[in-house]
Structure 1
Amino acid sequence: MKEQKIHKTQRPKNAQAMVEFMLVIPILLLVLVGLIEFGRLFYAWLIVENSTRFGIRYASAGTYNVDYCASDTPCSGDNREAEITDARLPSIEDETRRLIVGLAYDESLAQTANQYLNVTVCAGPEPNGNTADAVGLYIVRPQMGSLTKYAECTSGTESAGNPGEMVIVAVDYNFTFIVLPIFGFNP
């Protein structure tokens, strides 16, 4: 008997590369988008950290913007100390906001809204009258919505402080993700 050789003809695998590419491209896109979103989030965090740092420097130096003085002669005369005290708080807030560059924000939004921004300046002894920490020898890390000294500093009770008092400058910012809501993720 004769042996017959069976030749299998191999079909070209042109579509195999296309299928593999289609299987891998969603994963690559998710990694790329994740890197971009994380980069934006890290940038926002750095901007907020630096702005608060500059606000604290401004507050600790005791400086103020003369445009916030009430009298015709900037912060001089009979009410000099009171005018300086009143001018320091908006001056510190302006210095803090000045460094928030590249972030879309609106201070008139609700606290839960995207792009919400709030600058809080708080100083002095504990609001409950506790004299154990009259000059701020310890710090309670500010947490939005917490029951700390920072949470008790609301508009109306904010203070730029006096010499020897601890000053807290805090910025609350609600970061807005761009791509995650498109995929149905709401962090």
Structure 2
Amino acid sequence: MAEGGRKRNSRTEISKDLGQSLVELALILPVLMLILMGIVDFGRAFNARIIITNAAREGARYGAMHPADEGGIKDRVINEAAGSGISIEADDVEVEFPNGTSEPGNPIRVTVTYDFSLITPFLFGGDTTIRSSVEMVIF
């Protein structure tokens, strides 16, 4: 018995509670999904950054031993990135000699640029560019 001598209708209360829970879920679920997708995008971008850095490092390592072989350096970068699932073209790889010469003892710099597509472009403003540059001394 409820207050005032009336009998409580438990079905009505359960139905109201269930309806309230569904409304709360409908309000919070889109926010949680956006947060989740943002986390996934961040993880994917971080992974792409690691892959791009490793590819640039591999190109710089090869370039430190074969500085005159610019095509070979770019091929190393492209193959290293492709092995991890990222497609890079030769135009995305820049090979330069900061001191202006490819003589032993001077540095070689390999810069890789990658256009990263977001899952949730409306959160972070569209696609973003990931760039990594590695410098090594020529042997």
Q: TM-score, normalised by structure 1?
A: 0.54
Gaps of 5+ in 2: 128-139
Q: Which amino acid aligns with 1:26?
A: P
Q: Which amino acid aligns with 2:45?
A: L
How many pairs does the alignment contain? 118
Equivalent residues in 2 for 1:1-187, closer than 5 Å: 5-7=4-6, 9=8, 11-12=12-13, 13-62=17-66, 85=68, 88-101=69-82, 102-106=85-89, 118-123=92-97, 125-126=99-100, 161-181=102-122, 185-186=125-126
How many angstroms apart in 1 are the aligned matches of 2:89 and 2:93?
12
How many angstroms apart in 1 are the aligned matches of 2:124 and 2:55?
32
C-alpha displacement of 1:51: 0.4
C-alpha displacement of 1:105: 4.3
How many angstroms apart in 2 are the aligned matches of 1:8 and 1:106?
75
Q: Percent identity?
A: 28
The question of whether the paired residues in 2 share the 8 Å contact of 1:52 and 1:170 is answered with yes
* Residues 55, 105 of structure 1: alpha-carbon distance in 2 compared, 3 angstrom cutoff: closer
Deviations 1:126-164 (A, max 9, x none): 5xxxxxxxxxxxxxxxxxxxxxxxxxxxxxxxx7x2212
Q: Which amino acid aligns with 1:186?
A: G
Deviations 1:93-121 (A, max 9, x none): 111111113124455xxxxxxxxx61011
C-alpha displacement of 1:62: 2.9
**Whose strand fraction is larger, Structure 1's or Structure 2's?**
2
Q: Which amino acid aligns with 1:33?
A: M
The question of whether the paired residues in 1 share the 8 Å contact of 2:78 and 2:89 is answered with no
C-alpha displacement of 1:36: 1.2
Deviations 1:23-69 (A, max 9, x none): 22112101211111111111110111000111111111237xxxxxx
* Residues 5, 172 of structure 1: alpha-carbon distance in 2 compared, 3 angstrom cutoff: closer
RMSD in angstroms over aligned alpha carbons?
Answer: 2.6
Q: TM-score, normalised by structure 2?
A: 0.71
